[in-house]
């Protein structure tokens, strides 16, 4: 009988020693997060990637010579300009009546439940003074059906000549049958053959919603959450997270430790891990971790982080 009680007591002690205690947790159900968030936002109580520009190479930086990558235009009338730019170092210059179109592979696929899209582009012009009213830049927005065979002009925005960079912005309310959105920028002149009118185009952007944000290159491919400094009771433990992993998305985690909070900046980060349960060991009493949400495809879907916690054994 005594042996049974002794075995029970030992089992109880062993069980208590192996129990884990949560020393830090974020459930992302509140917008008032304790740590630092970059390129992320709270949506439905979950941490998700912000959606920004949906146009590839909208500042033409992914180009060293014509033709410009991901765009279609008449190279006889336009060229890549590496000396004039609004964003980065490149722009496209049109010298005669022609257009710049988004490449068909970069048509923006609409999402269910999103009715408004806003199209914007930065332009800079030098027009003939003899016919100022006949010279202008026009931004046209197009809606396409599912097969990309039929298109309708949704709207247009125009501006007369200016020697400064001007942003053309136009929000559009799409029809329900619209599956893709595209746009083009056109130089309209009094004489289609004249070469004295020039327009520089840069910062092409299509976004969800009615209001444009500052120009960004494409959408955000990844977002980063950095935890506050966590005080440890033990020198080892585990970091867990729960996330929805959608196609072409991933969640990665890394950590660093130090003897005091000031040493963290000098400490190296661990390698990024895709495991949702990561073990750590520390020579000191302080821990900091980062979670990275990555969109590896076109960015139309984003992983959602539901909760994150750090556990140590009692």
Can you tell me the mean pLDDT for 99-113?
78
Percent of the chain clearing pLDDT 70 (strictly above): 83
CA distance 124 to 174: 28
| pLDDT given at position 297 | 62
Query: Is residue 265 domain-resident?
Result: yes
Residues 76, 204, single domain; the answer is yes
CATH number at residue 127: 2.60.120.260
User: Residues near 313 by Cβ (< 8 Å), separated by ≥ 6?
Assistant: 17, 18, 19, 20, 21, 234, 236, 237
The CATH number linked to 255 is: 2.60.120.200
For residues 239 and 255, the answer to whether their CB atoms sit within 8 Å is yes
Looking at 208, 233, 259, the residue that finishes a domain is 208
| Structural domain harbouring 75 | 71-208
Neighbours of 233 (CB within 10 A): 11
Our count of domains for the chain comes to 2
Tell me the pLDDT band of 66, cut-offs 50, 70 and 90. low
Residue 214 lies in a domain: no
Using the predicted structure, report yes or no on whether residue 265 has a pLDDT greater than 80. no
What residues contact residue 271 under an 8 Å CB cut-off, 6+ apart? Answer: 254
Q: Tell me how crowded residue 1 is: count the other CB atoms within 10 A of its CB.
A: 5
Q: Which of 47-56, 133-142, 155-164, 294-303 has the lowest mean pLDDT?
A: 294-303
pLDDT at 111: 82
Confidence of residue 163 (pLDDT cuts 50, 70, 90): confident
> Is 248 a domain residue?
yes
Task: Identify the pLDDT of residue 55.
Answer: 87
Mean pLDDT of the chain: 81
The answer on 89 and 26 residing in a single domain is no
pTM of the model: 0.67
- Mean of the pLDDT values across residues 7-33? 66
Q: Which one of 185, 208, 231 terminates a domain?
A: 208
Task: Give pLDDT, residue 313.
Answer: 77
- Residues 189 and 129 reside in one and the same domain: yes
Mean pLDDT of 159-180: 86
**Does one domain contain both 80 and 203?**
yes
- pLDDT at position 104 is 67
Q: Same structural domain for residues 85 and 195? A: yes
What is the percent of the chain where pLDDT is above 90? 28
Q: Is residue 9 part of a domain?
A: no
Instruction: Tell me what pLDDT residue 13 has.
Output: 39
Would 134 be classed as within a structural domain? yes
- Note whether 237 and 276 are same-domain residues: yes
Domain membership flag for residue 7: no
Domain annotation covers residue 59 = no
Going by pLDDT thresholds of 50, 70 and 90, the confidence category of residue 203 is very high
Q: Are residues 289 and 193 in the same domain?
A: no
* Domain stop point among 175, 208, 241: 208
Q: Do 172 and 293 fall into the same domain?
A: no
Is 63 part of a structural domain of the chain? no
Q: Are 235 and 263 found together in one domain?
A: yes
**Does residue 203 sit in the same domain as residue 148?**
yes
pLDDT for the residue numbered 15: 43
Whether 250 and 199 map to the same domain: the answer is: no
Residue 10: per-residue pLDDT: 38
Q: pLDDT at position 192, please?
A: 57
Highest mean pLDDT, choosing among 7-11, 50-54, 205-209? 205-209
- Mean pLDDT on 123-133: 74
Residue 191's pLDDT band (cuts 50, 70, 90): low
The verdict on 79 and 33 lying in the same domain is no
Over its C-alpha atoms, the chain yields an Rg (Å, rounded) of 27
């Amino acid at each position: 009988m005594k042996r049974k009680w002794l075995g029970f007591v030992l089992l109880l002690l062993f069980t208590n020693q192996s129990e884990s205690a949560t020393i830090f947790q974020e459930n992302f159900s509140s917008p008032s997060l304790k740590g630092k968030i970059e390129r992320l936002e709270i949506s439905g109580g979950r941490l998700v990637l912000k959606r920004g520009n949906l146009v590839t190479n909208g500042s033409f930086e992914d180009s060293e010579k014509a033709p410009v990558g991901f765009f279609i235009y008449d190279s006889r009338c336009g060229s890549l300009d590496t000396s004039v730019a609004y964003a980065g170092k490149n722009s496209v210059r049109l010298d005669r009546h022609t257009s710049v179109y988004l490449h068909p592979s970069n048509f923006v696929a609409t999402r269910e439940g999103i009715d408004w899209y806003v199209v914007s582009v930065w332009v800079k012009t030098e027009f003939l003074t003899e016919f100022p009213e006949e010279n202008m830049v026009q931004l046209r927005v197009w809606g396409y059906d599912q097969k990309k065979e039929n298109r309708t002009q949704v709207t247009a925005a125009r501006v007369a000549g200016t020697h400064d960079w001007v942003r053309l912005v136009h929000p559009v309310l799409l029809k329900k049958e619209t599956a893709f959105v595209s746009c083009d920028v056109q130089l309209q002149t009094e004489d289609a053959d004249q070469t004295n009118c020039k327009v520089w185009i840069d910062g092409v952007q299509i976004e969800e919603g009615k209001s444009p944000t500052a120009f960004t290159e494409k959408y955000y491919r990844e977002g980063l959450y950095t935890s506050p400094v966590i005080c440890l009771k033990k020198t080892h433990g585990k970091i867990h997270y729960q996330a929805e992993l959608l196609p072409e998305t991933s969640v990665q985690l890394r950590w660093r430790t130090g003897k005091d909070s000031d040493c963290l900046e000098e400490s190296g980060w661990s390698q990024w891990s895709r495991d949702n349960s990561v073990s750590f060991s520390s020579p000191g009493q302080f821990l900091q971790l980062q979670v990275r949400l990555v969109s590896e495809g076109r960015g139309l879907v984003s992983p959602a982080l539901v909760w994150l916690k750090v556990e140590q054994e009692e």
